[in-house]
Chains A and B, each alone.
Chain A
Amino acid sequence: MFKNLFKRESNRREVLAAGFVVPDSARCVQCGICSFNCPINIDVRNFAWQGRPIENSQCINCGECVTRCPRGVLRFERTSLFAEA
């Protein structure tokens, strides 16, 4: 069981490290909570409006915007995401 938990955590970290935060614009209502909570002041909301991944080199993938969004707009994603799932 512990081995399984460890593997999961390692998978999770790998995705976080290699991923982008990606918006689903159809869910977004531009409330601004993501931008408000970004620790390095990236205007995440503007990316969501344009439907673009948060490809800002300053983004540290902390996940604050993903967690805080009241409408689940944001998620982490990387290429071949499900290959190792």
Chain B
Amino acid sequence: MTNYVIVGTGVAGIGAAEAIRSVDAHGTITFISEDLHGYYSRPGLAYYLTGEVDEKLLFPLKPGDLKKLNAHFSHGNVVRIYPQKHQVELSDGKHVYYERLLLAIGSNAIPLKVPGANLHGVAKLDNLEDTRRLVSLTKNARTAVVLGGGITALELAEGLASRKLKVHLVIRTAHCWSSVLDKIEAQIIEHKLNHDGITIHPNSELTSIQGKHGKVAGISLASGEQIDCEILAYGIGVQPRLQLPKEAGMACERGILVDEHQATSLPDIFAAGDVVQVHDPLSGRSIIESLWSPAREQGWVAGLNMAGQRAVYSLSVPLNVTRLAGLTTTIIGAVGSRDESEPLTIAHGDSETWRDIPDAIIAQSGFDVNHLRLVVGKNTIVGAIVIGDQKLSSPLQVMIRNRVDISEIRDQLIAPEAPIADIVANLWSKLHASQN
């Protein structure tokens, strides 16, 4: 009977436990996590902040599901790994023996390092405790400043605005989420944020947080501008939790290095999720995916291998879905950085040019703003951003993933003012019809 220990109760750990149980009914599975709350939807915290979902709904597993998993959950902080002895040590000095170990310890929010960062009222959105604290802070606050330009910062800004706070969003760059969105897209999002009462301060640097009686009272920007506020919330990125694996002598770069079986450089130790750096031998890419669904998939592959199967994880076309200023946004494939190997053309379309999409595709629609950007390669679409109406999102996922040949519509797509959504929809209908 194999003794499995999983450190971390995020989706990668749960995926691993499900995989183990799918092939091994008898082994013991022990979860160790320093998060008091066990497994919950961390991405869902943003919607708990907006008030769209109750806290108890963030927990996907029901008692029946837990019983099926037949795992033991224990609260604890793993401080050391002894690979030779096959043991982990907890902060209370207790040692736990393993035959197969999974590190699914995720990442942490990058800490804020400005004067005043320790004041009461400085908040983040990293875990359930953070979010509870933030929700509680909103009860006695009127103004919040949010620092950061990425998804988490935007979620913080929207969540706080939906709790009727006056929100200022301080962004270092000229536009929000500038690594992914282009200027037009960022303007769409920022216009909507303004409409929701969020004031954006682009090209701005936070220099200090002022306090009064130990609580946040305001902030200063490098420009000299000062904003009075009771909350300073920040989302300035995440970093994999590498201290534990590094001290154990595990090979790490930006994340823990794993092979295609999710095995680390140390025997019988596997890793999955946000803490892992995955290498793709085909493309030569080596990345930290930092996404929920790949974390689950990596966990699943790790779990199967821990249980003695031979499963392989391979990187697929990146897919990131989020909601920006109330608009569902799907990012597929290469959109932010350019692939040098082939010339790419960008095609844009907005609500005015895609009214005739067949209504037989029924997905999310009815947004007041719709926008589509396609990154068109020589014969294929290599990337897409779908903002608002999601009818084309799923077809584009398939077309990009399967490298569907679009040479017959390429010229139409890249023509000025082209109705690109309709062109894609028509091709999709044709492809689909030919398969039936």
Contacts and interface: CB of A to CB of B under 8 A. Distances in A.
Interface of A: 8, 11-12, 15-16, 19, 24-33, 35-36, 45-46, 49, 66-77, 80-85
B58 interface: yes
Of all A-B residue pairs in the complex, the 6 with the closest CB atoms, nearest first, are A31-B44, A32-B57, A85-B358, A29-B43, A75-B363, A72-B390
B394 to A, nearest CB: 6
B292 interface: yes
A82 B433 CA distance: 7
A39 B284 CA distance: 48
B366 interface: yes
Contacts of A15: 359-360, 362
B350 to A, nearest CB: 18
Interface residues of B, number: 37
Given A36-B53, A49-B60, A82 B360 contact: yes
Given A29-B292, A33-B52, A72-B390, A84 B321 contact: no
A3 to B, nearest CB: 14
A30 B394 CA distance: 19
Interface stretch (B72-80, B273-281, B301-309, B322-330): B322-330
A35 B58 CA distance: 11
A45 B47 CA distance: 15
B228 to A, nearest CB: 31
A33 B53 CA distance: 6
Given A15-B360, A29-B293, A71-B322, 11 more contacts: A12-B359, A15-B362, A25-B293, A27-B293, A30-B44, A32-B44, A68-B52, A69-B328, A72-B390, A75-B364, A82-B436
Nearest to B362: A76
Interface string B32-58: 000000000111100100001110011
Contacts of A72: 321, 328, 330, 363-364, 390, 393
6 contacts: A15-B359, A24-B394, A25-B293, A72-B363, A80-B436, A82-B432
B242 interface: no
Residue with the greatest number of chain A CB neighbours at <10 A, chosen from B360, B361, B428: B360
A42 B274 CA distance: 31
Given A71-B328, A72-B321, A80-B436, A31 B58 contact: yes
Majority secondary structure, B binding face: mixed
B50 to A, nearest CB: 9
B429 interface: yes
A70 to B, nearest CB: 4
B232 to A, nearest CB: 25
Contacts of A8: 359
A66 B364 contact: yes
A25 B11 CA distance: 13
A76 B359 CA distance: 11
Nearest to A73: B321
B427 to A, nearest CB: 11
Nearest to B425: A85
Contacts of B58: 31-32
Contact of B364 (A31, A45, A67): A67
Contacts of B44: 29-33
Given A26-B293, A75-B394, A85 B60 contact: no
Residue with the greatest number of chain A CB neighbours at <10 A, chosen from B44, B321, B362, B363: B362
Residue with the greatest number of chain A CB neighbours at <10 A, chosen from B363, B393, B394, B429: B363
Given A27-B319, A83-B433, A70 B360 contact: no
Contacts of A33: 44, 47, 52-53, 57
A29 to B, nearest CB: 4
B21 to A, nearest CB: 14
Contacts of B43: 29-31
Nearest to A82: B432
Residue with the greatest number of chain B CB neighbours at <10 A, chosen from A29, A49, A75: A29
A36 B51 CA distance: 12
A59 B129 CA distance: 35
A33 B361 CA distance: 23
Contact of A81 (B11, B328, B360): B360
Contact of B362 (A12, A28, A30): A12
Nearest to A24: B394
Given A11-B359, A12-B359, A35-B57, A70 B41 contact: no
